[in-house]
Structure 1
Amino acid sequence: MGLLRKLYKILIPSYALFLLYLMFFGFGRNQYDINIVRLIPMFSTAGFIKQTILWKTIIINIFGNILMFVPFGFLGIIFPRLNNFWTLILDFLSAIILIESLQYFTRLGVFDIDDVILNTVGAVIGFWIYRIWTSKTSTRK
């Protein structure tokens, strides 16, 4: 676990900065003329699915919003208090809502509740993978 902790401590900050870049500047993103907020859960995702022709694009968008945040479920490796599910989820929700708000205020994205939901699902999946993995490695000792 010591090597994993050291590696994760090095990689997760870089990964977080990479995600922030994608969320604010990636994918040829330009500043919107107006501030946009989407608060009806799964409404924008359903609209995106209806308007998108290629399933590949749908899968990349939806599963990307989930899978890209799985590593944050492992934060308990370096922050022991985040080994508690509810602490991790509340901290993660606070951070992702702050980021979505910054996208809204800078107009370098939109505040989309679907992103909050999908990103949080990713962190939850990561947490349970981490929990299962650590429970298996602790029983081997």
Structure 2
Amino acid sequence: MLKKFYKIIIVPYTLFLLYLMFLGMGRFQYDDNLLTVEPIISTINFIKGAISWKDIVIIVLGNIVMFVPFGFLGWVFPKLNDLKALLFSFISIIFIVEALQYFTRMGIFEIDDIILNTFGVYLGFLLRKFVEKRLGNWAV
């Protein structure tokens, strides 16, 4: 039952997430192509310069939590039941999305986003394994 619901909701969810990544949350086109390639440094600097904890939670935790559902992609694509295959596929795709943000100047290519998003997928994968173990056939 959960798998059926997931299969219905994942496409609109993905489209919503792409909207947020390119057009939502007050996005605008930058004058220059911007990138941050020093892992973790930009996130630490963001936290240091943040005006409020709300900003930190929305940006940092949001970059993790919003990608947890992609840890369940093995329910749609059986080859992605393998963690290595899932992470390789996801990192390849999120790299392309970040590159599109860079080339369209509708965002910043950030290594930290790739790291945080991938961590979210990993947590989703662990959650999926937990759900399958706990709920068994009900999850199917």
On whether the aligned pair clears a TM of 0.5, the verdict is yes
Distance 1:29 1:69 in 2: 19
Distance 2:103 2:64 in 1: 24
Shift of 1:137: 3.2
Segments of structure 1 that go 5 or more residues without pairing to the other structure are none
Please tell me the residue identity of whatever aligns with 1:81: K
Please tell me the residue identity of whatever aligns with 1:124: Y
C-alpha deviations, 1:58-83, integer Å up to 9, x for none? 11111000000000000111111111
Shift of 1:57: 1.1
Q: Secondary structure at the match of 1:37?
A: strand
Distance 2:88 2:23 in 1: 26
Shift of 1:5: 2.1
Output aligned runs, 1:1-141, within 5 Å. Answer: 3-138=1-136
Please tell me the residue identity of whatever aligns with 1:17: L
Distance 1:66 1:5 in 2: 22
Segments of structure 2 that go 5 or more residues without pairing to the other structure are none
Moved over 4 A (4+): none
C-alpha deviations, 1:91-113, integer Å up to 9, x for none? 00011000000000000001000
C-alpha deviations, 1:103-136, integer Å up to 9, x for none? 0000000100000000000000000010122123
Please tell me the residue identity of whatever aligns with 2:64: I
Q: Superposition RMSD on alpha carbons, in Å?
A: 1.4
Q: Secondary structure at the match of 2:38?
A: coil
